[in-house]
């Protein structure tokens, strides 16, 4: 890892114009046998070119559903997507399949957690990188193959010319993840969405993959969304941070702002459950008590209130009855007053 916390000093891009990706009041619902799942419920964020946005939250908070929405990948037969997603000025929500296909190939690419299921077992790695390139650029087979080999070299596969002929099962987990990154980057996407790209990997390989993403971003200038349940991963890699809980944004800011001055009890909980690099190595990790709510029937008011130890500080039971507003830009969706927050020493707190 290079610096402890990356920070280019700039505030998050202003809402709407100027942003490469702009998401406004996104709502995604699934119809299931048990009822309607409100997987994403009123989410807004922006991402500028060249920046990395970390989206963090426990499993089930709507991170993957959000990223699939950006690619227009939800099945309209079983889901409903509302709100606005603008990608380089182009509407994604409501776009026809041809437009989406074009966007997916040229502007946005995605890396998934599970490279084994994302790669086909029947084709060589080289072919799986070359094919999308050929399709989108019209390059010859030969040129596309050369490009695939070049990309494998860029992501650090040794002897790429030889290894391109291998099938996925001949690659280790870390190498498959690299191959998937090569596949995602081969068409020079302007936005790369990495959904838990290192979760299945051991710590050393994790660090290598994250460094690789940062290097490739330098080279290609793309915007990155890095999705993870692990705040430690984004601390080292992202510029901006969006903390999600129960399908909503609960806190946002630059990584530096959020780590130095976290403002939502859920963020405090995530920080308290994360091993810290510096000080107080002896302090025990404290997982957040309780579990995320079912999105079939999310809690009223603040979705975190059933797990929040501080609701008694807020008068008139507002945490349970009133949904706290999420400010644009830096801030948190929480009813606690700034004075209340200053008085609370949260687990793992740095204040």
Can you give the binding site for ligand ADP, defined by CB under 6 A? 30, 32, 37, 39, 57, 59-65, 295
Q: Which does 326 bind (CB under 5 to 8 A by kind): Mg ion, ligand ADP, none?
A: none
CA end-to-end distance (rounded Å), the chain: 25
The nearer residue to Mg ion, 63 or 341, going by C-beta atoms, is 63
Task: Kindly tell me which of 62 and 72 has the beta carbon lying closer to ligand ADP.
Answer: 62
Tokens of residue 100, six digits: 């989406």
**Between 69 and 222, whose beta carbon lies closer to ligand ADP?**
69
In DSSP terms, 32 is beta-bridged to 35
In the complex, the smallest distance separating the C-beta of residue 59 from ligand ADP, rounded to whole angstroms, is 4
Integer-rounded Cα radius of gyration of the chain: 21
301 binds, among Mg ion, ligand ADP, none (CB under 5 to 8 A by kind): none
Strand order from edge to edge, sheet including 240-245: 108-111, 191-195, 223-228, 52-56, 240-245, 248-254, 331-332
Cβ proximity to ligand ADP, 59 vs 218, nearer residue: 59
* Partner that binds at residue 30, options Mg ion, ligand ADP, none, CB closer than 5 to 8 Å by kind: ligand ADP
Distance CA 49, CA 161 (A): 32
Give the shortest CB-99-to-Mg ion separation in angstroms: 25
**Which value, to the nearest 10 degrees, does the dihedral of the CA atoms of residues 270, 273, 277, 282 take?**
150
What's the rounded Cα separation, in Å, for the pair 303 and 306? 7
60 binds, among Mg ion, ligand ADP, none (CB under 5 to 8 A by kind): ligand ADP
Min separation Cβ 267 and ligand ADP, Å = 15
Q: Under the criterion CB under 5 A, does residue 124 sit at the interface with Mg ion? A: no
Give the one entry of Mg ion, ligand ADP, none that residue 243 binds, where binding means its C-beta sits below a cut-off of 5 to 8 angstroms depending on kind.
none
Closest CB to Mg ion: residue number:
64
CB 84 within 8 A of CB 258: no
- Give the DSSP per-residue string, 182-217: HHHHTT--SEEEEESTTTTS-HHHHHHHHHHHHHHH
Q: Which residue, among 333, 312, 315, has the nearest Cα to 324 in the 3D structure?
A: 333
* Cβ nearer to ligand ADP, comparing 55 with 155: 55
Q: How far is the CB of 130 from Mg ion (least distance, A)?
A: 29
CB of 234 to ligand ADP, least distance (A): 14
E strands, the chain, are: 21-32, 35-47, 52-56, 79-87, 90-91, 108-111, 191-195, 223-228, 240-245, 248-254, 331-332
Instruction: Select the binding partner of residue 189 from Mg ion, ligand ADP, none (C-beta < 5 to 8 A, by kind).
Output: none
Residue 64 in the binding site for Mg ion (CB under 5 A)? yes
Least Cβ distance, residue 222 to Mg ion (angstroms): 21
In angstroms, give the least distance from the CB of 226 to ligand ADP. 13
Rule CB under 5 A: which residues touch Mg ion?
63-64
């Amino acid at each position: 890892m290079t610096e402890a916390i990356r920070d280019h000093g700039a505030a998050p891009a202003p809402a709407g114009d100027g942003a490469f990706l702009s998401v406004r009041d996104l709502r995604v619902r699934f119809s299931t046998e048990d009822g309607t799942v409100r997987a994403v419920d009123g989410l807004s964020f922006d991402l500028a070119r060249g920046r990395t946005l970390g989206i963090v939250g426990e499993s089930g908070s709507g991170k993957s559903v959000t990223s699939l929405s950006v690619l227009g990948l939800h099945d309209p037969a079983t889901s409903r997507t509302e709100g606005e997603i603008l990608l380089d000025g182009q509407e994604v929500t409501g776009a026809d399949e041809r437009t989406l296909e074009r966007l997916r190939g040229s502007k946005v690419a995605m890396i998934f957690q599970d490279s084994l299921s994302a790669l086909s077992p029947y084709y060589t790695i080289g072919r799986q990188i070359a094919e999308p390139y050929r399709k989108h650029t019209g390059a010859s087979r030969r040129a596309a193959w050369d490009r695939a080999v070049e990309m494998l070299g860029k992501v650090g596969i040794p002897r790429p010319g030889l290894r391109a002929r291998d099938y996925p099962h001949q690659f280790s987990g870390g190498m498959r993840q690299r191959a998937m990154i090569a596949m995602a980057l081969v068409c020079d996407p302007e936005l790369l969405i990495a959904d838990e790209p290192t979760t299945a990997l051991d710590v050393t390989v994790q660090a290598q993959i994250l460094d690789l993403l940062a290097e490739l971003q330098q080279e290609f200038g793309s915007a990155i969304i890095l999705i993870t349940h692990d705040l430690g991963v984004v601390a080292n890699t992202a510029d901006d941070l969006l903390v999600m809980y129960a399908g909503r944004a609960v806190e946002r800011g630059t990584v530096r702002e959020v780590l130095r001055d976290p403002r939502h009890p859920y963020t405090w909980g995530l920080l308290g459950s994360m091993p810290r690099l510096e000080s107080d190595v002896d302090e025990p990790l404290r997982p957040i008590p309780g579990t995320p709510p079912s999105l079939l029937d999310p809690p009223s008011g603040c979705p975190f209130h059933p797990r929040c130890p501080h609701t008694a500080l807020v008068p008139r039971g507002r945490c349970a009855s009133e949904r706290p507003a999420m400010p644009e830009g830096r801030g948190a969706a929480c009813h606690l007053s700034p004075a209340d927050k200053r008085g609370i020493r949260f687990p793992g707190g740095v204040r």
